[in-house]
Structure 1
Amino acid sequence: MQNERSLGKDAKIYIGTSGYSYRDWIGPFYPAGTRQDQMLSFYAEEFSFAEVNSTFYHLPSARMFEGMLKKVPEHFLFTVKAFQGLTHRRGDAVREEAVRMVEALKPLSAGGRLGALVLQFPYSFKANRENREYLQSLREWLTGLPVVVEFRHKSWLGRDTSSLLHALGMGFVCVDTPGLNGLPGGAVQATASVGYVRFHGRNTATWWRHEEAWERYNYLYTEEELSEWVPRIAFLAGKCERVFVAFNNHFGAQAVVNARMLKRILPPGFSP
């Protein structure tokens, strides 16, 4: 089953999930008995891109991506979440970590298989002069890579941010989140050749209060809720060369259910 659709004149939309290596997907998605080292190959039979999230917790190696490329078809793309040292910390080590990130991504970037590097900043990262300058530094350190930025605080919504990202050649990550005060959920901006959407779920009760990280993203979208995004995705497709849509509501393979649902409700030949 193919999930890559042409939207607009030249844009392509890729629908997939945030991560793919989850034990609780065995049964709901992966066949019983599937080993962890078999998951990516099975996943790539249905989806044409995956967002790699393990890289947020530890710096990856080029060897890791070389191994992943061997398990997927030639058309398959990866988007990669940046190491948390780049987005959640400061200090002398950050520049070195950025260099190591660029080196690790070479098997993907050199072969045209890197869809985007995702910089996911925390809620505490608010719009101010210092943080804008930090984005400029990251752009310099990550030269040559397609970079998209996810803000978790609504202070980044507005023309100033759009102008800054456009000038830096960075994409704006559009997010669907619970309707809680301070979150930027639902905002759509096209600031680079890559458009990006992440669905985190709308679990208001557990967004701020949870014992395990997965509880925040334990949510299954309805078709009506996803339909709200069809015109927004159309807008992005009309402005960008590629649009990646990643479902992060991964608990119990709900991300797979909703990815399939979105593919179904996007009309064939849909043009913005």
Structure 2
Amino acid sequence: MRVYIGCGGFSNEDWAAPGLLYEGVRKDDYLSTYAAHFDAVELNSSFYGIPGLKAFEGMVRRSGAQTRFAVKLNKVFTHERAPTDADFDRMLQSPEPLREAGVMGPYLAQFPYSFHRTAENRKYLQGLAERFAGHELAVELRGADWDLPEVRSGMAERGLIWVSPDYPPAGGLPEPQLHATGDVGYLRLHGRNAGSWWEGQSAAERHDYRYNRAEMDEWAQKIALVQGDLSELYIFFENTTKGHALKNIPMLREALNAHGVPVATPDPAARAVDPGRLL
């Protein structure tokens, strides 16, 4: 099993604080700096606006084509749920530079908690699976009403990847378990800030949590149990607030290696990217 570990987004401005990854780094160099340390990233900007071909070409260049990109579906697919044919075309075609460079990970459909398991929503999800057939599509369903074996079985039949989450113990959310619906797994670690999950005014507040070593060891044990079922596993830390994820990733790498799941730590010197270099 090849494990890819990264963060939810790379343009985190609070990482420019003293002692963190982007201290003294120009914003234009954030991605090249990130790519020197992590082998995967979850692209958040595509949720707000689908980047064009040139934007994706720039991502490949700045990352040195050495970091996998999981591309989040635009909100028109998951929150507004009224995509046009043009939206599908752009979402499917624009990341082509990532595919050509061999760094395209799964698409991510992050549905809101309000997307409950109704007949209408099940039909919508079926239609989305059909339109993305032939592409890896990971689906995060935040309501506990979806957290059922029969749902995962149906997703497996349709080639969809169940997003395994780690949410706070706040009620109404799926359990923190790692499930496989195919040979690619997808884990999102949101932190366990129960006090801010429902009441938080921003994603930064909700994700203001740093895991301890025992919690990372707990996840390493769960991952070790499924490594024979998966060829690839993507792990993304969403607790990027205050650089929490930057501290937790080394913890998880260490725990995984201790549990017999080999994970390499990228060598920043070897992976350093010249942002001006053309591929």
* TM-score scaled by length of structure 1: 0.90
Matched, 1:217 2:190: no
Q: Is residue 22–residue 30 contact of structure 2 (8 Å, CA) maintained in 1?
A: no
Structure 2 partner of 1:233: 223
**1: CA distance, partners of 2:247 / 2:261:** 24
Q: 1:132 to 1:110 in 2, by over 3 A?
A: farther
Q: 1:106 to 1:205 in 2, by over 3 A?
A: same
Q: 1:150 to 1:238 in 2, by over 3 A?
A: same
Residue type at the aligned position of 2:44: N
Q: Is residue 82–residue 101 contact of structure 1 (8 Å, CA) maintained in 2?
A: yes
SS of the residue aligned with 1:116?
strand
Shift of 1:31: 4.5
**2: CA distance, partners of 1:218 / 1:72:** 27
**2: CA distance, partners of 1:64 / 1:225:** 37
Structure 1 partner of 2:190: 200
Of 126, 130, 138 in structure 2, the residue corresponding to residue 136 of structure 1 is 126
For structure 1, the residue ranges without an aligned partner over 5 or more in a row are 1-10
Alignment deviations for residues 199-221 of structure 1 (CA, whole Å, 9 cap, x no partner):
10111111111223210100000
SS of the residue aligned with 1:267?
helix
* TM-score scaled by length of structure 2: 0.88
**1: CA distance, partners of 2:210 / 2:19:** 14
Shift of 1:33: 2.3
Shift of 1:180: 1.6
**2: CA distance, partners of 1:52 / 1:72:** 13
SS of the residue aligned with 2:50?
coil
Matched, 1:165 2:150: no
Q: 1:237 to 1:94 in 2, by over 3 A?
A: farther
Matched, 1:60 2:60: no
Structure 1 partner of 2:41: 50
Shift of 1:238: 1.9
Structure 2 partner of 1:267: 257
Structure 2 partner of 1:79: 70
> Share of identical aligned residues, percent?
36
Structure 2 partner of 1:104: 94
**1: CA distance, partners of 2:40 / 2:261:** 22
Alpha carbon RMSD of aligned pairs, Å?
1.7
List 4+ stretches of structure 1 deviating above 4 A: none
Count how many residue pairs are aligned between Structure 1 and Structure 2. 261
**2: CA distance, partners of 1:136 / 1:31:** 41
Q: Is residue 35–residue 66 contact of structure 2 (8 Å, CA) maintained in 1?
A: no
For structure 2, the residue ranges without an aligned partner over 5 or more in a row are 263-279
SS of the residue aligned with 2:172?
coil
Residue type at the aligned position of 2:45: S
**2: CA distance, partners of 1:42 / 1:64:** 18
